[in-house]
């Protein structure tokens, strides 16, 4: 079973790297159907971004995947 992108980023953090998730609500959407976004910062550099997702969980998952791919962890 392969590891998820968030698991890979957690391992990276445990090895001494700074990994931060910046979750936010995207503007311009209705209260009844909010949209979410997330940025993943690795060592103070944005490595993954997801916008206009229906849930915080999905936004974090996609941003983490982009970050892991940009760092060649996947």
Domains observed in the chain: 5-70 (3.30.160.20)
pLDDT at 1 over 90: no
The sign of the dihedral angle between the CA atoms of 29, 30, 31, 35 is negative
Residue 31: the pLDDT is: 81
Sign, CA dihedral 57-62-63-67, equals positive
pLDDT of residue 30: 79
Q: Model pTM greater than 0.85?
A: yes
Alpha carbons 65 and 8: distance in angstroms, whole number: 9
Strands 36-42, 19-25: pairing is: antiparallel
């Amino acid at each position: 079973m392969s590891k998820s992108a968030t698991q890979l980023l957690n391992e990276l953090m445990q090895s001494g790297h700074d990994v931060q998730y910046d979750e936010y609500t995207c503007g311009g959407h209705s209260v009844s159907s909010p949209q979410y976004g997330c940025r993943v910062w690795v060592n103070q550099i944005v490595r993954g971004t997801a916008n206009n997702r229906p849930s915080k969980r999905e936004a974090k998952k996609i941003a983490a995947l982009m970050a892991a791919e940009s760092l060649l962890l996947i």
